[in-house]
Structure 1
């Protein structure tokens, strides 16, 4: 069976997948033994891994509330991962029920789960596409059905760019997406880093996965925001970006940067 250009046999369950590792660390059940083993290895070499993914998820929730509270009514979430409630559309619609969301992921398993969850909705879509081909994402009919690029869009790149190597030209990828967004749009981005601890062991866990991990330092992450103006407090470790509760213990060790920025002019 072929759907969106993928055959069922192309779903690789023999190697860990980042979305399923993430799901397991969040306490989800949409993962396989190979993912659980990789996640446990990750937690053994990076003890803050579980609180890190939880803090990253909480950052995403706060950031979505911020951009919707700023007036944006459409969201393009690339690298959405497996559905974990509350999902982006659920968070957004707590503030504004008319928000439209296009989810994009390159894992057919993610799309299958999301299709079952979302059903037929004119205000949401789930698209099987690859961030490394941003033009194909932007031009996909199911993205265009939901997103009007003449109006401000919130682009979510949450915990996804570190799965692009330098050979994938991540700055070109982000620039292509940025140039498609009108003034008043937002970029919500988080990215893994080794700035706060040696995380080469964590990086090695992904060497056998379907995507390797490229840790980047603060300056490298900040470059992804070129053409946008960061909102306060700028780029920060995710627990410290506009926290709405006391950050959890060991937050200073969490190797995720997060930021929200607006495109002007």
Structure 2
């Protein structure tokens, strides 16, 4: 099957160093506008993967993201935001990056080239066929990620991927591939730009749609969020106030007692029924 890396193709723009700041911004912005349209074409693929993730998580499994460089960091960002946003265990969605935690801040040379380490990193988390693993790589050629997915397939573990090239080795390795073809980058080969934006948007979709399907949102509110700062305590208080039509002070007292928006609402409604 032919494989052409559009992520490495020559930029549609040249002589960037001769552009003014305004010209640079307008051109980058014009390129960025194309990303949601590329994602729209991949919605059926995204839906298929999310259905699998929901099935596995409802049955007690976990979701793993695995990537290198920018792709790995984006997976870690999405995973790390699930506990505070949806009140789930930090062990439910796990992000892994080639080179380990050190690679979150600085590049670890050649870490992405290992064909053994990805599977080892998954095994450190006692990966099993209850889980689902999503490989993230803009190019779709990262050995660390591809080999991890191939090992998963051999062990009957459901695999998906997010890549920005069509018919890549990663797409062929994944059972449920997502291909968001965003075209050449503004700076040739700089896949932290449009490709990174596309991956972030798809990750938002995967985690948000999954958590809603798991019942972690009520109406349109994050009723299970962790109350980890004053802003979130205030937001939670207002959610309770609006939901139960009570004063801010009453809502605050309920939240202080139950430490969770959903629990506060449920207890209030339960008590009201039994009056």
TM range, smaller chain: 0.3 to 0.5
Highest RCO, 1 vs 2 (Cα 8 Å, sep ≥ 6):
2
TM-score by length of 1: 0.38
Q: Larger radius of gyration, structure 1 or 2? A: 2
TM-score by length of 2: 0.37
Please identify which structure carries the higher helix content. Answer: 2
